[in-house]
Chain A
Amino acid sequence: MGLAIFFALSAAVGWGISGVLARLGLQHMRATTGTVISLASGTALVGAIALAMYGRELFAFSLTALLWFTLLGIINYPLGRLLNFTGVHLAGVSRATPILSTSPLISAALGIMVGGETMNIFIGLGTAAIIGGVLLIVTQRA
């Protein structure tokens, strides 16, 4: 369990460092160019790790899986990361990141609407807390 906690905190640190670096780098280029550079370097890293882990099996997936990867890739990267970096560039990393962190709210809403999951008191309270937090950040003067 200790190792899992270390990995989870490392993930948070990795994402945090990424946001701060993006804020610095995007002063000198458009968000689209910065996103492409960050995606290319990140994909190379994860691709190398995946190749080491799976070898040739990495490429043994069906056409259906490729269509899923395409859908996921388009929603998460040209849309998600580009909008993320645009938010960081224009509003500042300290205001954009808490708003970006509200994504579990969307997942939970989709889970309830599409996935047949049920609403409970924790989800209700969590939703209220997230809305309150976002309102505090959004309504402050620049």
Chain B
Amino acid sequence: MLRGVLTGQTGKNQVAVGLLAAALAAVCYGFSQFLARQVVTTQAPAMVAATFAPLVGTIVLASLSTKNMVQDRRAPKKAILIMALAGIAASAGVAFNYLALSRAPVIVVAPLTASNPLIVLILVHFFLRRMERVTLRTWLGALLVIGGVILITWGSARG
């Protein structure tokens, strides 16, 4: 699958590969949250880690995917701008999360940031209606995941 991700060739089971990729990304994010807690409590302030970790990531990924980047050099400028804005929005999200955590405990902040899937579904409903269909099942699934994340946050805070 990783080869398919790197080369952009995923075969027939596009959706299944996409869902598997999302699940593996969640594992990576969960593991990195655990690591980040160790880093910001023992090694460096959060913003320092938030600067250098993505810098390392950019360098590693850029060197691994040079061939793809050369092939994509004729991508529309609008698409490049959109991806740059996606990165800025994601980083702004990280910065806002740190700011929130510096002013309130995680038990308050995490349930609010966990509402992210609802924001996505609302945005998709208004802006990507032609590309994606949001079903009742997706809404119910997202609500169950958010509820679960809130319960786990409470459970973790109670020790």
Contact = CB atoms under 8 A, between A and B. Distances in A.
Contacts of B137: 136-137, 140
A20 B128 contact: yes
Interface string B65-78: 10011011001100
27 contacts: A14-B93, A18-B87, A18-B90, A28-B76, A31-B8, A36-B58, A39-B57, A41-B88, A42-B87, A50-B47, A68-B43, A72-B35, A79-B25, A87-B22, A88-B18, A90-B15, A93-B120, A94-B120, A98-B141, A101-B114, A102-B149, A104-B153, A106-B27, A107-B34, A108-B155, A123-B155, A137-B138
Interface string A71-105: 11111111111111011111111111111111111
Given A40-B87, A132-B144, A134-B141, A126 B149 contact: yes
B75 A8 contact: no
A121 B155 contact: yes
B130 to A, nearest CB: 11
Given A40-B87, A133-B141, 5 more contacts: A30-B65, A54-B45, A68-B38, A81-B25, A103-B27
Interface in A9-36: 9-36
Interface residues of B, number: 119
Given A11-B113, A15-B116, A86 B21 contact: yes
Contacts of A8: 96-97, 100, 104, 108-109, 112-113
Contacts of A36: 58, 61-62, 65, 69
Contact of A4 (B49, B82, B104, B150): B104
B72 A12 contact: no
Nearest to B94: A46
